[in-house]
Structure 1
Amino acid sequence: MSQQDLPNAATKVLIVDDDPSLLRLLSIRLKAAGYDVESAANAKVALGTLQSFLPEVVISDLRMEGMDGMALFQQIRQQHPNMPVIIMTAHGTIPDAISATKQGVFSFLTKPFESQQLLDTVQQAILLQPSTNEDNADKDHWRANIISRSTVMASLLQQAKQVASSDFSLLIHSQSGTGKELLAKAIHLASSRKDKPFTAINCAAIPEQLLESELFGHTRGAFTGAAKDHVGLFQATDGGTLFLDEIGDMPLNFQVKLLRVLQEKEIRPVGSTQSIKVDVRIISATHKNLQQAIINNSFREDLYYRLNVVELELPPLAERREDIPLLVQYFLNQAVQRSNSPIKSLNVEAMELLIAAPWPGNIRQLQNVVEQSIALCSENVISEVVIKNALRDKTTQLPSFQQAREHFERDYLARLLKITAGNVSQAARIAQRNRTEFYKLLNRHHLIPESYREE
């Protein structure tokens, strides 16, 4: 780690391990690198320390007496959904660590690990997460609504922050549903125009005959129905940022008028003979290939180069799958706040389905799937069956033979327990299995007879 990469003195790291010697060694390494370090000998102590210390990163051993690292992570996620947790694991528990990352753990370190690997992982966690420190939170306020910990998004946001300070026109290229408007708003908040208006308009959603009036305004009597003067979005956004979404769907005839406005920096309302000076930064976005549109004569080449001074490529959700657990938790929390419903979570299999899904509709589709799952699930834990129904993925509707057998066994055993009100001996007789074998089946499917017994 170079001198310029050293963390801010206020950067806080909490280490949790029931091995005193390892705890002391890690503390020494991190303090030497400039971090403010607190240590906890077990998960319960860590939860108490968390409230007062408020770390930016938590490093925890996976295997500990009492509450283990994953149970600690679940507790932390409920209180601080965006706080990165790094899990330390021995070689024999690598499959557990891989499962942990699917549930939202930031990363894992396999013992023994080098000091530099530890420092690099901690630094990456800090760089890719919204900070809990007040000074850094203020610094990162511009991107507060963008939920991500992926390296590809970190690189994009670094570019966005860099070009925000200039006044160049920007073109954001991405698939539908990736959050182009969120990125545009973030760039606006990182710019010197942040105290001025940010206005977004979808060029594909407004009929051609109304687009000129909407953007440039009109005077009273300019056309039938124009009962009074109307200020257009260019004038209303003066000094700020105008976001033109789906610019590739803008009518060809109107592209000439927009080009003139960008060149002259003035607009002329419909029906007026007077031009009005405007100072507006343009950020445009499209899911189309504009260079191909130029070849097809559906987009003007001169307008393209005027809009595309700097181009940012916003990755689809399939290229930032490590963000899915964070986004799912965010949508779950939002749903709870809106509906005042009980807190819900996903089981491991459900989260794995979401991480592996193709997501042609990107984040918008993910939000829809999560909200559908909440509406369709009567339990506090959302299962993979509910997720499959919400995904409507035809390729997952026919399970494998092993999956079908497991589902049948679980449903069959649960039904027996309901019929017998949790009486294992009676249920075993109905199933024509001895009591010992029946208990093994229940344990395999994590079914607890006591929960089926009537008061």
Structure 2
Amino acid sequence: MTLVVNAHLLLVDDDPGLLKLLGMRLASEGYQVSTAESGQEGLRVLSREKIDLVISDLRMDEMDGLQLFSEIQKRSPGMPVIILTAHGSIPDAVSATRQGVFSFLTKPVDREALYKAIDEALSQSGSAVDEAWRENIVTRSPLMQRLLEQARMVAQSDVSILIQGQSGTGKEVLARAIHAASPRAGKPFVAINCGALPEQLLESELFGHARGAFTGAVSSREGLFQAAQGGSLFLDEIGDMPLALQVKLLRVLQERQVRPLGSNSDIAVDVRIISATHRDLPKAMELGEFREDLFYRLNVVSLKIPPLQARPEDIPLLANHLLRQAAGRNKPFVRRFSTEAMKLLVAAAWPGNVRQLVNVIEQCVALTAAPVINEALVAQALEGENTALPTFADARSQFELNYLRKLLQITKGNVTQAARMAGRNRTEFYKLLARHELDASDFKGT
């Protein structure tokens, strides 16, 4: 048996003595261990820490192990859970495994049986085995952790993925991470911005062209589908692709063959498609600007990156990471932000998301002559960045998100009360929450 060390385990048990003993035993084996003396406390730990596996007692007051498992699956689908109980029985075990609990062990727990269950759970879930695939994504946000868990799981299949999110949220970074976590990782990752080129040039870039296909085509050239053979093709801003080209792309996806411009023969291609957009594609379909059949081909799995403002806990982490990078390139004497400067960064609106944060940090490092970046430099950089207005659609979406979060905070996750305050019926309000990927249960007790 090979233990998957460095994994972060959460132990939940209302017996402090047993909790301490098991925690010490697992920590001595190389695991990182957090503990909680109740299900509710365990959920709070999960909301603020990156946990790979939960080990919970079955019999606990207020929230038992199976109720805790149910809540965990709502918040972090796929999180492996092992249930321990001193009251083990066949009906309990059957009930637990039917609900999706990874393993059910009776107390006193056999050490080797527990280690084997932990090892198998971590190996099957992929947790803590290899984080290299997401090394460029810096986060501690539960929203992002949940997204990354979904991304890692879907990376193992070959389905098409549509990444949605505001400009600057890091859609290409996530696409590269998915490729790195997939069986295609050893093959090329090729990216193209579908809104940056005129139609004929975009078609030539994607599918290639034969010699003489158009003026200036003095030689044949393979397209990006061929360049990405065996790997992944990232179609950024797919919502801006011209309608005529959408038809040709759909044919390629259906037949898995491309026909270069000016050629009479088809070429077989084996490519995984990851696309991204900041546009509202359902709205674009209503307006006749995006093909419905192509949308469903691309949107087999949808991943939505939350805006930076929705995950303020990531701002200090990102800011310090970007500071180290910028300082390492230009000014190694720059060490940190002052307390007031960091408060200003956390309080900023960030309409340009992570891309805007990168620009602000780069400007601060370029202008500082001291090892500590002060509040005035941050304020100056933010003022320069904020002269660029977001699009109307992005601004409206951000307002809706902030408004809904505020309502749920005020009502402590009571959807009926929040809908009434918003002047909407419950059905409409639930649709709004779903659109912005908000879970009312995350706000209970806040």
TM over 0.5, yes or no?
yes
Q: How does 1:241-320 map to 2 (within 5 A)?
A: 241-320=232-311
Alpha carbons of structure 1 residues 273 and 8: separation in structure 2 relative to 1, 3 Å: closer
**Letter matched to residue 242 of structure 2:** P
* Contact 2:213 2:262 (C-alpha < 8 Å) held by counterparts: yes
- Which of 308, 312, 315 is equivalent to 1:324? 315
Q: Letter of the aligned partner of 1:342 in structure 2?
A: F
Alignment of 1:31-50 (within 5 A): 31-33=21-23, 36-37=26-27
Count of residues paired in the alignment: 308
For 2:42 and 2:280, locate their aligned partners in 1 and report how far apart those are by CA, in whole Å: 41
Q: Residue 334 of structure 2 contacts residue 365 of structure 2 at CA under 8 Å; is this kept in 1?
A: no
SS in structure 2 at match of 1:342: coil
1:207 positional shift: 1.5
Q: Distance in 2 between matches of 1:165 and 1:271?
A: 36
- The structural deviation recorded for 1:341 is 2.8
State the structure with more CA Rg. 1
For 1:158, the equivalent position in structure 2 comes to 149
Structure 1 residue 191, shift from structure 2 partner = 1.2
- Deviations 1:383-429 (CA, angstroms, capped at 9, x unpaired): 1111111100799xxxxxxxxxxxxxxxxxxxxxxxxxxxxxxxxxx
For structure 1, list consecutive stretches of 5 or more residues without a partner in the other structure.
1-6, 14-24, 39-52, 60-108, 129-134, 396-455
Which of these residues, 49, 68, 75, is aligned with residue 125 of structure 1? 49
- Unaligned runs of at least 5 residues, structure 2: 10-14, 53-125, 387-446
The code of the aligned residue for 1:334 comes to: Q
**For 2:167, what is the secondary structure of its paired residue?**
coil
TM-score, length-normalised on structure 2? 0.63
Give the alignment of 1:2-151 within 5 angstroms: 10-11=6-7, 29-33=19-23, 36-37=26-27, 114=37, 125-127=49-51, 139-151=130-142
Give the counterpart of 1:196 among 170, 187, 198: 187
Contact 1:12 1:36 in 2 (8 A): no
Question: What is the CA distance between 1:34 and its match in structure 2?
Answer: 6.0
Instruction: Indicate the percent of aligned positions where both proteins have the same amino acid.
Output: 53
Q: Is 1:224 aligned to residue 224 of structure 2?
A: no
Aligned position for 1:388: 379
Rounded Cα–Cα distance in structure 2 between residues aligned with 1:339 and 1:178: 25
What is the Cα deviation at residue 246 of structure 1?
Answer: 0.3
Pick closer, same or farther for the CA change 1:165–1:295 going to 2, 3 Å: same
Paired residues of 2:209 and 2:261 also in contact (CA < 8 A): yes
CA change 1:54–1:257 in 2 (3 A) is same
State TM-score, norm by structure 1. Answer: 0.62
**TM-aligned CA distance change 1:394 to 1:148, over 3 Å:** closer
- Paired AA for residue 154 in structure 1: Q
Q: Which amino acid aligns with 2:189?
A: F
Q: Which amino acid aligns with 1:127?
A: I
Distance 1:374 1:31 in 2: 48
RMSD: 3.2
Runs of 4+ residues deviating >4 angstroms: 7-13, 25-31, 34-38, 53-57, 113-124, 135-138
1:366 to 343, 357, 373: 357
CA contact (8 A) 1:318 1:358 kept: yes
CA distance in 2, matches of 1:175, 1:256: 26
Question: In 1, distance between residues paired with 2:345 and 2:155?
Answer: 33
Distance in 1, matches of 2:30 and 2:380, equals 39
Structure 1 residue 282 displacement after superposition: 0.6
